Structure 1
């Protein structure tokens, strides 16, 4: 599946998936295969959860993690959706072999 990649210089993070777009903060990041794959994994997760529930679950998972770890970075890195994306963003074949709801194996 192809998703438009849009450069947003005002973006405070390297990349972000907002269905159906991948937003990146610079032209260089537009060419970063690992970053683009990471965001594509999020887009697949969003599709599986019918988009809006993904954002709700993402936020809830972050808030639960924040109460557990007390640090924003640790809360973010332990979001189930991020765990799947980071674990597989260097595997170019991942999306072609990914099973539906694969993020559940990272709970």
Structure 2
């Protein structure tokens, strides 16, 4: 008998809760083509520059002036000469990021 009463009360509670529930309706605009929004950004090429890439002329020293009694002689250092080289790190490209 107790099981019957519990079952009846549970059934009554379920009916009362389901009677108070209301369905909610709303509109949603859906793009059937599934178009997505992107922001386009151009990324330029990236290069790595080496100022001591190719050696043109090595370091040297020179002497100039007159070697006479009372004359002046100059000792001059000539630094090495290099050609700058560059290496491509990243090629230029476009990137897309979401809106």
Q: Compute the TM-score of the two structures, normalised by the length of structure 2.
A: 0.14
Q: Which has the higher strand share?
A: 2
Q: Is the radius of gyration larger for structure 1 or structure 2? A: 2
Normalised by the length of structure 1, the TM-score is 0.14
Q: Pick the structure with more helix per residue.
A: 1
Q: With a CA cutoff of 8 Å and minimum separation of 6, indicate the structure with the bigger relative contact order.
A: 2
